[in-house]
Structure 1
């Protein structure tokens, strides 16, 4: 099973609710630590997705630029 942001965010909410509903300090602290850990995982996934998206956009732009340059070069050759 791979972790998704949605899953991590759901676990954050569940742990936060459990912490709020707990009458025992040690249980509340455990749930708050759990919520913090799930939030950190969600944040890492979000950062990874943003990095991946930026890299894919850069690759697409590079391909489009290369194709445009190739098209321009072919047009110049056809003119001569």
Structure 2
């Protein structure tokens, strides 16, 4: 199963809500670590997608220049 940016952001938001409602410090800390990890994965996925799109456009531009 491929993860989508939207899924990762939703999980981060869910973890943030859990942290906000936590009564115990260790539960809040765990949820905040989880949120940070989900957001890092979302950011990485976005960066990879942007890089792929940039590469695709560069290749397309190069192909059109040779025509």
**If the length of structure 1 is used for normalisation, what is the TM-score?**
0.82
Instruction: Give the equivalent residue in structure 1 for 2:47.
Output: 47
**Long gaps (5+) in structure 2:** none
Q: Which runs of 4+ in 1 moved over 2 A?
A: none
- How large is the Cα RMSD of the aligned pairs? 0.5
**1:33 to partner: Cα distance:** 0.2
Instruction: Give the equivalent residue in structure 1 for 2:12.
Output: 12
Size of the aligned set, in residue pairs, is 67
> Higher relative contact order at CA 8 Å, sep ≥6: structure 1 or structure 2?
2
**1:56 to partner: Cα distance:** 0.3
Instruction: Give the equivalent residue in structure 2 for 1:38.
Output: 38
Determine the C-alpha separation between the residues in 2 that align with 1:38 and 1:3. 11
Q: Deviations over 1:4-58 (max 9, x none)?
A: 1100000010000000011011000000000000000001001101100100000
Question: Which protein is bigger by CA-based radius of gyration?
Answer: 1
**Long gaps (5+) in structure 1:** 68-80
**If the length of structure 2 is used for normalisation, what is the TM-score?**
0.97
